Amino acid sequence: MVNEGPSQEERDDTPAPESALQADPSVSVHPSVSINPSVSVHPSSSAHPSALAQPSGLAHPSSSGPEDLSVIKVSRRRWAVVLVFSCYSMCNAFQWIQYGSINNIFMHFYGVSAFAIDWLSMCYMLTYIPLLLPVAWLLEKFGLRTIALTGSALNCLGAWVKLGSLKPHLFPVTVVGQVICSVAQVFILGMPSRIASVWFGANEVSTACSVAVFGNQLGIAIGFLVPPVLVPNVEDRDKLAYHISIMFYIIGGVATLLLILVFIVFKEKPKYPPSRAQSLSYALTSPDASYLGSIAQLFKNLNFVLLVITYGLNAGAFYALSTLLNRMVIWHYPGEEVNAGRIGLTIVIAGMLGAVISGIWLDRSKTYKETTLVVYIMTLLGMVVYTFTLNLGHLWVVFITAGTMGFFMTGYLPLGFEFAVELTYPESEGISSGLLNISAQVFGIIFTISQGQIIDNYGTKPGNIFLCLFLTLGAALTAFIKPDLRRQKANKETPENKLQEEEEESNTSKVPTAVSEDHL
């Protein structure tokens, strides 16, 4: 964790003294709260010992650091943090799909099989599985800034390593660069819900999570669009090497710039908690808490386990479709590499729109279960329509059906993150989102290999029907998830004032106080 002195922004936004509250010991700053039957937030039993300094309060107001839990306040830095994260997540996602979007061109340049190029995408999924738990532990121990810097640095390193693979016999070098980028991804994928919770108010978290996920989806979209334009399908390998080098230099320069921005912009956490739920989360955190115990506790939560499975089925299907899209389009429309990339772009851009709309809708409605189920069913219907229209011979039909499917399929991703945080509060967001991503990577590898083999042997329609069957299973399991919204209960137990950026004079909300009638 990196501790920084108060910034000018923090000095300017320092709230007014709470002398009226501190003067009388009969004022209770924080009434006891029960989040759910298994979690008690009463300070006398569950709070961190440091939060028990006052017999009747959650935390003693202090003048420094986020330990001042009686103050609820959003920081103006929060949007810069989430946008920088979104950008370097975009850069990493671009590097994931840059090979798959022009699969046939890299096969020709390096003289390797389609399966070997597929592994350049699947290595992202493979490295995530064993590294997720160690990285989630590092996130808990060292915090957001350290993890952000590490992920951005690895992403930058991998981009520059690939520049050493511009000869046909240097395929192993590009594999090394891609593996480094895949390790960087482990430091990225689990952060959206954590950034949203740590930096954003109760009415902003879903939107913020959508913005954070938006960057990853935008990177995939650019990865479908740009490589076919920068690297045309030519026979001369020297010309191919030149075009590939342009792409690698561009992404290396962008990755370097983003590393510098992360170093400048990223901060561990704001001075004050942005929501009541985050304030309680700080108080409930114990330095002696068992990391493995937290994971075990999550797996005792049946609703979360069901979400892990359903999220993995949906995201795994998306990973498989993204990896194999070029192959499927070329199968029916030979020579249409550029349009294959545009179809992928359409899927992801539609998904980004769906993600943002879903995030805004969740912040307004709080209907996590209903929204997730509807989006899942629409994903299945979109996949069925795409499956049976891909071979009609009309590219414009594929654009429409693929875009409709993408709106719901990739729009589901931030929904899963936010629903997981609700079901598992006050457990760490990094652990819950990490377990969702492990499930996605496992199913992604299984679906990519299986669908690839089915397409090679039986065609694209049986391969896509294979995914439809698993999406049907996912929709059915989603219906059994109970909407136990623990974070919402924590925020609503004692209503907090609305945090609006427009309240420029103080922009501060105190934790509600309970004052006895006799005292009044």
- Locate 237 and state its tokens: 């390998």
CA 178 to chain centre: 20
**Of all helices (H) and strands (E), which one includes residue 448?**
helix 429-458
Task: Please give the pLDDT value at position 195.
Answer: 83
Mean pLDDT (whole number) for 386-407: 88
Pairwise pLDDT comparison (137 vs 489), residue with the higher score: 137
Would the pLDDT of 335 be above 80?
no
d(CA 78, CA 501) in angstroms, rounded, equals 11
- Locate 316 and state its tokens: 């795994």
Q: Which residues pair with 36 in a beta bridge?
A: 39
Would the pLDDT of 178 be above 90?
yes
DSSP state for residue 28 in the 8-state scheme: B
CATH architecture of 293-486: Up-down Bundle (1.20)
Among residues 37, 3, 361, the alpha carbon closest in space to that of 203 is found at 361
Task: Please give the pLDDT value at position 182.
Answer: 92
* Max intra-chain CA distance, the chain: 89
Would the pLDDT of 42 be above 60?
no
- Locate 208 and state its tokens: 């913020």
Three-state DSSP state, 492: helix
Residue where the block lists tokens 């511009």: 166
- Locate 212 and state its tokens: 């954070």
Residues 229-244: tens digit of each pLDDT: 898 888 888 899 999 9
Q: What is the mean pLDDT of the chain?
A: 76
d(CA 128, CA 136) in angstroms, rounded, equals 11
Mean pLDDT (whole number) for 88-103: 88
φ, ψ of residue 34 to 5 degrees: the values are: -115, 115
Residues 202-228: tens digit of each pLDDT: 777 777 777 777 788 788 888 888 888
Task: Please give the pLDDT value at position 10.
Answer: 42
- What does pTM read for this prediction? 0.62
d(CA 184, CA 169) in angstroms, rounded, equals 26
pLDDT band at 393 (very low <50, low <70, confident <90, very high): confident
Query: 211 burial class (0-12, 13-18, 19+ CB within 10 angstroms)?
Result: buried
pLDDT band at 516 (very low <50, low <70, confident <90, very high): very low
d(CA 95, CA 99) in angstroms, rounded, equals 8
Task: Please give the pLDDT value at position 251.
Answer: 93
Q: In one letter, which amino acid is 506?
A: S
Residue where the block lists tokens 């506790």: 297
d(CA 246, CA 232) in angstroms, rounded, equals 12
| Buried residues in 402-419 as b, exposed as e (16+ CB within 10 A) | bbbbbbbbbbbbbbbbbb
Task: Please give the pLDDT value at position 434.
Answer: 77
Q: Which part of the chain is CATH 1.20.1250.20?
A: 75-271, 293-486
d(CA 207, CA 186) in angstroms, rounded, equals 23
C-alpha distances in Å from residue 365, one per residue of 168, 196, 374, 376, 378: 54, 18, 14, 18, 19
Task: Please give the pLDDT value at position 25.
Answer: 39
DSSP string, 309-368: HHHHHHHHHHHHHHHHHHHHHHHHSTT-HHHHHHHHHHHHHHHHHHHHHHHHHHHHH--H
C-alpha distances in Å from residue 254, one per residue of 92, 94, 248, 262: 10, 11, 10, 12
CATH assignment, 75-271: 1.20.1250.20
Lowest mean pLDDT among 115-119, 307-311, 334-338: 334-338
- Locate 191 and state its tokens: 């952060």
Task: Please give the pLDDT value at position 291.
Answer: 60
Task: Please give the pLDDT value at position 152.
Answer: 92
Lowest mean pLDDT among 38-47, 295-304, 340-349, 496-505: 38-47
Within 13 Å, how many C-alpha atoms sit on residue 435's CB side? 23
Task: Please give the pLDDT value at position 19.
Answer: 38
DSSP state for residue 498 in the 8-state scheme: P
Is the distance from CB of 292 to CB of 218 less than 8 angstroms?
Answer: no
Residues 262-299: tens digit of each pLDDT: 999 888 777 777 767 666 665 555 544 556 677 777 88
- Locate 472 and state its tokens: 């049907």
Lowest mean pLDDT among 120-124, 154-158, 189-193, 473-477: 189-193
